[in-house]
A and B are shown apart, each in its own frame.
Chain A
Amino acid sequence: MSINFSSFEIARRALSAHQLGIAVTGQNISNVNTPGYARQRVQLEESLPSNVGGFSLGTGVSVAGVETFRDLFVESRLQTETGIAGRLTARRDALTPIEVALQGGESGGLQGAMAKFFGAFRDLEANPQSVPLRSVVMQAGEVLASSFRSTRTRIEDIQRATDGQLRTNVDKVNSIAEKIADLNGKIKIAEAIGGNANPMIDQRGELVREIAELTGARAVPNDDGTLTITIGEGRALVSGDVSTPLTIVNTPPNGFANIEINGDPAVFDEGVLKGLDEALTEMSSQIADLDGLAVQVVARVNALHSAGTDLDGNPGTNFFDASVPTTAANMRIDPLLAVNPRGVVASPLAQPGQNGTVAGEIASLMTDSATSIGTRSGSFTSIFAGMVSDAGESIRNAEDGLTTQAAIIAQVSAQRDAVSGVSLDEEAVNLMQYQRAYEAAARFMRVADEMTQTILSLAG
């Protein structure tokens, strides 16, 4: 009677398969909180049977591989939605300080300064002979000019900081693109030689999510296991194991960053970079509006002021300095007038007598709706109110968009988790299953061993 050792082989295979099952379960449990991790499962299959004495006899279990649960469609949607959220967040965060700069906090900012300046002329209209009120007008004029200057400086500071953020994020994108290219190369080799590329694929997935958030990039899988990462107009940031860096060109007049790829302007459909770029454009337009408002205030006040007569009967001069083209950055009281409050005009009369008609006309400019700046028209104050409202609306829209986007991302993430997420209950069941199977296989080996012992004792 011969001894059949195939039972030992079946038991050995079962032991090692279920040991691997326990290891994979352990891997899943330990990565339950790892971002981007996709759960794994051991793929078991029946070993090819052997033919013994005309019978086809099973040879136990073998491991076909370790399967990773990923839904490429959901992953791609998550990247797209994350890119949109990146743009909205960057836009909101960059623009939020602007509305504070425009509103000016408790002091009332530019709006308060305008009310005080034109109000001072209204007081002068009622007391056209007063020297102290002329000094008040001068002070209010200086406050108005400095409010224009400081509001513009604040917006420029925010714009510079946003430009700095843009540059930092470009560096980040280049670094991530390099890592993805590196992982692409490793994954390609691992898959070619049949190695386990799953941990690297998980790592790369997380990096792709980051780059999508920054640039709105899309990832296209290739047959060799690599991913091609493209931004707007289909330009590749990563292709195979090669990454193409984004470059920054300093653009006049402000030296702000223009992003290029391969010497051409880089276009982003979504992402933080697009959000920051949009915010920068919006800030430039806010500065242009502010400059336009300053130009109109200076021109219209000067036109009335220089047509009147001062307290000493001299022809009026410009109230605001008009020796250089006005912007909100250089607005100031005419230097000659600044040292002579008696030069402030209240009256239109040529004689050295006074009534307050001109002062009244200047005061009425505040709410005179004949001003137009670009697409805006109305009074100085209503145009400014429109600017504040538009800045607020931009932020509100980004906020509202983000609320919606957060809900979409939560839903897509839940979809992703439903496929790739780890469930500890499931893993507990798996652990139990593999453990019991391992115990049973060990028991089976003992039985096979006892049987072998019995036969050997008969021989002894």
Chain B
Amino acid sequence: MNYRVTDSKSSLMGRIAVQQARLATLNEQLTTGKRINRASDDPYGAEAVINLRISQTEVDQFARSAETTYRKLITSDDTLNAYGNTLDKVRMLVSRALSDTTTPESKAAIATELEMVRAQVLTTANTKYGDEFVFGGTRQDAPPFDPVTGIPAATPATSQYIQIEPGANAIASGVTAEGLFSDATATIFTDLDAAIAAMRGTGDPVADKATLVATTSRLVVYDTQLNTARIRIGANMNTAEIVQERLDGHASAYNDLASSIEGADFVETAVAVSRAQQALEATLQVTATRQRTLFDFLA
């Protein structure tokens, strides 16, 4: 028996609704540029995108830490570069004071200049980056050396370490003043104080000369400390720079991957929109066409 065809319009209405829904989805994809606009569009894809975006955020965050570390290191490096020049100046002043041709008056003038240099070194040792003492390491409640007397802070410090890469060892964001401006025997300030006193004369010219000679050899110690510190800082700067570049690359890869999952292919979507529009128009046209029945022919 043949299937009876009747005049019900319900299926046509259903088809219009389906076409409209399809067109709305495609339009949303086209205007947002995303294939996944809500989790239900592709639950597994959406979960992957969330996890990738979190990884990207984490990597971005580490890249920021690497950048901060690099800035701290470059501040240390710049400061130490100036400190190197200061040491050269100290060496020159001590050499001049050691010269037999230098008069006591000239020595006193050199001593005054050395006093100013000593103040510069003290400022250098207590340099700050934001709220932090650059050479304070983990001790940040007091400057490395007393700003007036130059006496070292009571609490010992160690270097600050910052993790700049997930899962990797933290790197030192600087060096401490202890290893730069002092050693087990003395600080640069006590050495400079002794040299200044010797230049001004203690009444014992032989002992004064010996003090200045000793200062010269102490300067070699500080030079060595400076060079060691700059090598360490330079190495860590390189590490921070390389890590930052690597992390930027990772972040960009995560972003590309997430975009490839959630992004809509523009051309493909545009073509699909045009097709969906045509299909809807055709359905509407069919619905709008007055279907003739036998009644039309009976008149």
Q: Which residues of A contact B (CB under 8 A)?
A: 32-33, 96, 99-100, 102-103, 111, 114-115, 118-119, 122-123, 125-131, 313, 347, 349, 351-357, 360, 363-364, 366-367, 381-382, 384-386, 388-396, 399, 406, 410, 413-414, 417-419, 421-426, 428-429, 432
Contacts and interface: CB of A to CB of B under 8 A. Distances in A.
Contact of B10 (A103, A351, A413): A413
B131 A130 contact: yes
B65 A381 contact: no
Contact of B47 (A122, A389, A421): A389
Nearest to B14: A410
A327 to B, nearest CB: 23
B138 A382 contact: no
A122 B155 CA distance: 27
Contacts of B184: none
Contact of A360 (B43, B163, B293): B163
B202 interface: no
Contact of B68 (A114, A127, A354, A388): A127
B50 A390 contact: no
Nearest to B44: A389
B4 A391 contact: no
Contacts of B8: 413-414, 417, 421
B138 A349 contact: yes
A424 to B, nearest CB: 4
B38 A313 contact: no
Q: Is the interface of A mostly helix, strand, loop or mixed?
A: helix
B9 interface: yes
Contacts of A131: 131
Interface string B45-63: 0110011011101101110
Contacts of A99: 38-40
A393 B7 contact: no
B298 interface: yes
18 contacts: A102-B39, A129-B140, A349-B138, A351-B138, A352-B141, A353-B155, A354-B140, A355-B138, A357-B170, A363-B61, A386-B47, A388-B39, A389-B46, A392-B39, A396-B40, A406-B18, A413-B8, A418-B3
Nearest to A367: B58
A71 to B, nearest CB: 12
Contacts of B138: 347, 349, 351, 353-355
Contact of A129 (B130, B161, B166): B130
Nearest to A39: B6
Interface string B125-169: 000001110001111110000000000000101001111001000
B43 A419 contact: no
A392 B132 contact: no
A366 B58 CA distance: 9
B41 interface: yes
Given A122-B62, A425-B294, A428-B294, A406 B14 contact: yes
A382 B68 CA distance: 28
A131 B295 CA distance: 88
Contact of A392 (B40, B54, B170, B173): B40
Given A393-B43, A413-B8, A417-B4, 10 more contacts: A355-B161, A357-B170, A363-B61, A366-B54, A388-B39, A393-B40, A419-B4, A421-B4, A423-B5, A423-B7
A428 B132 contact: no
A428 B54 contact: no
